[in-house]
Amino acid sequence: MDLRILTKLNAERAARRAAVLVTDIKKGTQRLVLEADILNDPLGAHLGDALRMGRSGMIETETGQVFLTVQAPSVRIIAIGAVHISQALVPMARQLGHDVIIIDPRTAFASPERFPDVTLIAEWPDKALQMLGADRYTAYVMLTHDPKIDDPALFHALRSDAFYIGALGSRKTHGSRLERLRTEGFSDTDISRIKAPIGLPIGAISPAEIALSILGEITASLRLKADGTRATR
């Protein structure tokens, strides 16, 4: 690999930005396409599908075969609330290769005993989230049912590039939440980013089932196209 390409690829990795390395099999040439440039690339549709699926592989083009090497950051889930759902969510998320950060100012809940080997921040979200950069591979899940904790995190999430924002609560609870968000100046377009009630509608009851539904919805948001269909690759 050309040293300039390797240097640029390492810089993208360090910044948690995605990129695709395109290798022309016949010519042996390589070029790096950054995520921000994919739409304008001649292979844009193929690159977008490969990145969406997180899968490297060979494709046929008009000029011959090329190999797409996908480099994408791991998904980072920021869970607001050290609750039972979070306890169930952590091991499932790890199985999927995701990183999880738990934020909760209530030290009785946010304890290493309840969350061993997890990045745990026992601070109020408005303070804790200033220390964490949110990017296109960040998912926020609000799980406390307490507006004093969930709302500041929602304010932060809605101003970020996070690909997923979900909030626990009934439709009535969410209706009150929407009123508060509008009072804070968020538009209907902003608010429409929130998945609420959180998770896929699978009839989940237990904390583990709810965690499963949340991870399913996060996966769908990550992998499916805007129209809800799968990538062709």
Q: Domains along the chain? A: 3-71 (no CATH), 76-223 (3.40.50.720)
**Structure-block tokens of residue 229:** 């269909």
Backbone dihedral region of 185: left (phi > 0), alpha (psi from -120 to 50 degrees) or beta?
left
pTM of the predicted model, to two decimals? 0.86
* Phi, psi of 198, deg, nearest 5: -65, 145
* pLDDT score, position 196: 93
* pLDDT score, position 228: 65
Per-residue pLDDT of the chain (233 residues; tens, 9 = 90+): 788 999 999 999 988 899 999 999 989 999 999 998 999 999 988 998 898 888 899 999 888 899 999 999 999 999 999 999 999 999 999 999 999 999 999 999 999 999 999 999 999 999 999 888 788 899 999 999 899 999 999 999 999 999 999 999 888 989 999 999 999 999 999 999 999 999 999 999 999 999 999 999 999 999 887 666 665 54
Question: How many angstroms separate the CA atoms of 186 and 228, rounded?
Answer: 26
Contacts of 157 (CB under 8 A, 6+ apart): 134, 140, 165
* pLDDT score, position 53: 85
Say how many CA atoms lie within 13 Å of 97 toward its Cβ. 7
Q: Are 158 and 138 in contact, with CB atoms under 8 Å apart?
A: no
* pLDDT score, position 66: 93
* pLDDT score, position 223: 87
SS3 for 71? strand
